[in-house]
Amino acid sequence: MPKPRQFEKPMGVRDFLPDFVNGKKWVEKQVGACFSSWGYREVITPTLEYFDTVGTASAIEEQKLFKLLDGQGQTLILRPDQTAPIARVISSVMREEPLPIRLSYHAGVFRSQEREAGRNAEFFQSGVELVGDGSPEADAEVVALAVECLQACGVRNIRVAVGHIGLLEALLQEELADREAVTELKKSLGRRNLVQFREKVRASGLPEQSQQRLLSLLSLRGERQVLHRLRDESRGEASAAGCAHLEAMWDALENWGVASYVMLDLSLIGSLDYYTGMYFEGYGADGYYLLSGGRYDRLMDLFGRPAPARGFALKTDRLVMACPERTEPRETVALVYPRRMHREACRQAKDLRRRGNRVTLFIVESGFSSEGLAGFDQVVEVREKDGD
Amino acid sequence: MGIDGRLTVAMPKGRIFRDALNLLGEAGLTLPRELVEDSRKLIVEVPGEDLSFLLVKPVDVPTCVEHGAADLGVVGKDVLLEEERDVYELLDLQISPCRLSLAGTTDWQPVLNPKVATKYPRIANRWFRKQGQQVEVICLNGSVELAPLTGLADRIVDIVSTGRTLRENGLVEMEEITRVTSRLIANRASYHLKSRQIGELYERLAQVVKEEGGLQ
């Protein structure tokens, strides 16, 4: 490997230019306002964590972690997501605070990527975690908040797909005694490979009726009636409980006025072995995947403060692209002055800034191109006044 | 990706194209005359329908679909296995069947440092690891059958349909790695945002290939 050239960056990381940074700040401001109005308090956790704590607890696969060694030879990681660090915070430094705890964040996360083509190794997320409170209403709260965040950013065409891993597992187990086979089917759905799912069901040797029931999981998509269909058909206690949970959640979503954005999809599955209950993904605009989240009841266990929990993370980079119509309220002003008028230029600049403008100064004698001024909303020249 | 109701389908030029076109015809889709393999036009719209086609190289179909340049795509399972893209694999279209196989010269003998030439380096690597064998995979872009004849590699991993090309080059199929047919794939966001349109097209195609059950 030759020495990197001056302009090169490690694979998957990017420079962010002013336009993007503006957009990012704008998005964070919009969603941050939503978070805090729903009672979520912002925290900041370190970029570096121990592999043995946060690294092993994270939903992100080990091969995607950036690892390094500290002076003592301990393996550190760059945080791959924000959920595991927040679980650590709630179980340690916030241990005395009673549950439920609502926290939010805006942070960059790091995931090493094998492939090129638009896959980033560092990207930004804004999100919330609601830890404690196992109710369907609390699950619905974060979904409703997610929708409100997308609305606050002006995203058109919002669609949130909601599944339930616990319910899916129960439905699979009702037909299949073999745990291994259940895991295999979950893996196929996790890879979004419906063809493989069907092949595995057909190769299972199960009675025809069982096979049909498994195959029909793929079409359990839609509105509330999906749950009615399921409730009438389902036989086990676990699936009935999952179904009841989703129904109660749907009621709560209706009360928040967001059910029309939601589509149930019982074959939807997130990171395997991490999510335990409802799981959701948000899409919008001309085909952007904008957020994901769900219920992760096992994570808090790993940090010694067992509690039901759920949250979501917005993909800030994509939100910036999905809502290009941001209003820039502040006018940009170029203030051009001859050197001897510097005092007057300072006075005028202060005045313009106080009125909310963004002011850049140019000295006439230094010489500047007209292109340099082209990007400004307004050009103001400082002239000598009579009697000065 | 098309806005609102419009569906864009990425079609692979080459081996699968004709079979895929016939299948779409059987499913009752109106196909414009410009939709031919050697079309100079790379985007072909279907007049009167909210449907357009992108004509791309097979290996680019999953990329187009993953990144949303197309909502749907038709592509061979070989390419899907090699590219490992984050897309929905919706339906086995059962067209253009063939197999991915390991092949070598008739007098092949195990060698100390085996080399395998292929257009499918990831599939080959995965498969040999699963067999517990360490091989050096050499990536070629065409005429893979040449490799054993010129000493570039001792075996190859490639697509076999009738076996004629192998025979003509004095090679034999040694082991089948996987069976290959073409698949209908979908972009993740489109699958949810355009569930109705995709569900309808899916059902038309599923009927032709006799797959039961819908997507919604």
Q: Quick one: tokens of B210?
A: 């006799």
Q: Which among B89, B188, B195 has CB closest to A221?
A: B195
What pLDDT score was predicted for residue A90? Answer: 97
Same-domain pairing of B146 and B193: no
Q: Looking at beta carbons, which residues of chain B come within 8 Å of A288?
A: 189
Q: Quick one: tokens of B152?
A: 């570039």
| B90 CB within 8 Å of a chain A CB | yes
Domain CATH number, residue B21: 3.40.190.10
Out of A322, A346, A362, pick the residue that ends a domain. A322
Q: Provide the residue type at B25 as one letter.
A: G
Same-domain pairing of B155 and B186: no
Q: What is the DSSP string of A341-357?
A: GHHHHHHHHHHHHHTT-
Q: Which pLDDT band holds residue B2 (cuts at 50, 70, 90)?
A: very low
A212-261: pLDDT as tens digits: 999 999 999 999 999 988 888 767 888 999 999 999 999 999 999 999 99
What pLDDT score was predicted for residue A117? Answer: 53
Checking if the pLDDT of A115 tops 70, the result is no
Domain CATH number, residue A368: 3.40.50.12590
| B152 CB within 8 Å of a chain A CB | no
| B82 CB within 8 Å of a chain A CB | no
CA pair distance A161, A266, nearest whole angstrom: 9
Residue B215 and residue A218: Cβ atoms within 8 Å?
Answer: yes
Same-domain pairing of A261 and A351: no
Q: Quick one: tokens of A214?
A: 């498994």
CA pair distance B7, B48, nearest whole angstrom: 13
Closest CA to A112 of A182, A62, A160: A62
Q: Which pLDDT band holds residue A39 (cuts at 50, 70, 90)?
A: very high
Q: Is residue A136 part of a domain?
A: yes
* CA-based nearest distance B180→chain A, Å: 12
Q: Is residue A213 part of a domain?
A: yes
Same-domain pairing of B150 and B187: no
Show which of residues 45-74 on chain B sit within 8 Å of chain A, judged by CB atoms: 63, 67-68, 71
Q: Which pLDDT band holds residue A386 (cuts at 50, 70, 90)?
A: very low
Checking if the pLDDT of B1 tops 50, the result is no
Identify whether the C-beta of residue A273 lies closer than 8 Å to the C-beta of residue A229: no
CA pair distance B180, B158, nearest whole angstrom: 11
| DSSP 3-state of A317 | helix
Give the residue from A113, A271, A286 with the most B CB atoms within 10 Å of its CB, the best one to mutate. Answer: A286
Q: Provide the residue type at A227 as one letter.
A: L
Q: Looking at beta carbons, which residues of chain A come within 8 Å of B192?
A: 159, 161, 263, 265, 281, 283
* pTM of the predicted protein model: 0.90
Residue A287 and residue B63: Cβ atoms within 8 Å?
Answer: no
Residue B169 lies in domain: 98-178
Which residue(s) pair with A106 in the sheet? A126
B120-150: pLDDT as tens digits: 999 999 999 999 999 999 999 988 999 999 9
The total number of structural domains that make up chain A? 2
Same-domain pairing of A317 and A363: no
Q: Is residue B77 part of a domain?
A: yes
The pLDDT of A125-147, averaged and rounded, is: 97
Residue of B nearest to A223 (CA): B216
What pLDDT score was predicted for residue A328? Answer: 67
Same-domain pairing of B84 and B106: no
The residue among A219 and A45 whose pLDDT is bigger is A45
Q: Which among B84, B86, B193 has CB closest to A287?
A: B193
Cβ-based neighbours of B204, under 8 Å, separated by 6 or more: B27, B28, B29
Q: Is residue A195 part of a domain?
A: yes
Q: Which among B67, B87, B195 has CB closest to A192?
A: B87
Same-domain pairing of B153 and B134: yes
Proportion of chain B above pLDDT 70, given as a percent: 98
Closest CA to A249 of A280, A218, A220: A280
Same-domain pairing of B119 and B160: yes
Same-domain pairing of A355 and A259: no
Q: Is residue B215 part of a domain?
A: no
Q: How far is CA B170 from the centre of its chain?
A: 26
Same-domain pairing of B15 and B89: yes
Q: Looking at beta carbons, which residues of chain B come within 8 Å of A196?
A: 89
Q: Is residue B214 part of a domain?
A: no
Checking if the pLDDT of A368 tops 80, the result is no
Same-domain pairing of A265 and A163: yes
CA pair distance B44, A169, nearest whole angstrom: 43
The pLDDT of A30-35, averaged and rounded, is: 96
Same-domain pairing of B71 and B127: no
The total number of structural domains that make up chain B? 2
Q: Quick one: tokens of A61?
A: 């696969």
CA pair distance A59, A81, nearest whole angstrom: 8
| B87 CB within 8 Å of a chain A CB | yes
Residue A287 and residue B68: Cβ atoms within 8 Å?
Answer: yes
Which residue(s) pair with B105 in the sheet? B171
Residue B89 and residue A283: Cβ atoms within 8 Å?
Answer: no
Q: Is residue A174 part of a domain?
A: yes
Q: Is residue B216 part of a domain?
A: no
Q: Which among B183, B213, B216 has CB closest to A215?
A: B213
Q: Mean pLDDT for chain B?
A: 91
B59-74: pLDDT as tens digits: 999 999 999 999 999 9
Residue A192 and residue B211: Cβ atoms within 8 Å?
Answer: no
Closest CA to B29 of B46, B9, B7: B46
Q: Which among B67, B183, B192 has CB closest to A283?
A: B192
Checking if the pLDDT of A116 tops 70, the result is no
Q: Is residue B53 part of a domain?
A: yes
Q: What are phi and psi of A339, to 5 degrees?
A: -50, -40
Which residue(s) pair with A348 in the sheet? none
A178-215: pLDDT as tens digits: 899 999 999 999 999 999 999 999 999 899 999 999 99
Q: Which pLDDT band holds residue B17 (cuts at 50, 70, 90)?
A: very high
Q: What is the DSSP string of A111-168?
A: ---S--SS--SEEEEEEEEEES---HHHHHHHHHHHHHHHHHTT-SS-EEEEEEHHHH
Residue A222 and residue B216: Cβ atoms within 8 Å?
Answer: yes
Residue A340 lies in domain: 332-381
Do you know the residue count of chain A? 388
Same-domain pairing of B158 and B193: no
ipTM of the shown complex: 0.90
Q: Quick one: tokens of A189?
A: 């759905």
Residue B192 and residue A263: Cβ atoms within 8 Å?
Answer: yes
The residue among A195 and A6 whose pLDDT is bigger is A195
Residue of A nearest to B185 (CA): A193
Spell out which chain A residues touch chain B, with contact meaning CB-CB distance below 8 angstroms.
Answer: 115, 117-118, 157, 159, 161, 191-196, 198-199, 215-216, 218-219, 221-222, 263, 265, 281, 283-284, 286-289
A281-334: pLDDT as tens digits: 999 988 999 999 999 999 999 999 999 999 999 999 999 988 866 766 678 999
Q: What is the DSSP string of A222-248?
A: ESTHHHHHHHHH--SHHHHHHHHHHHH
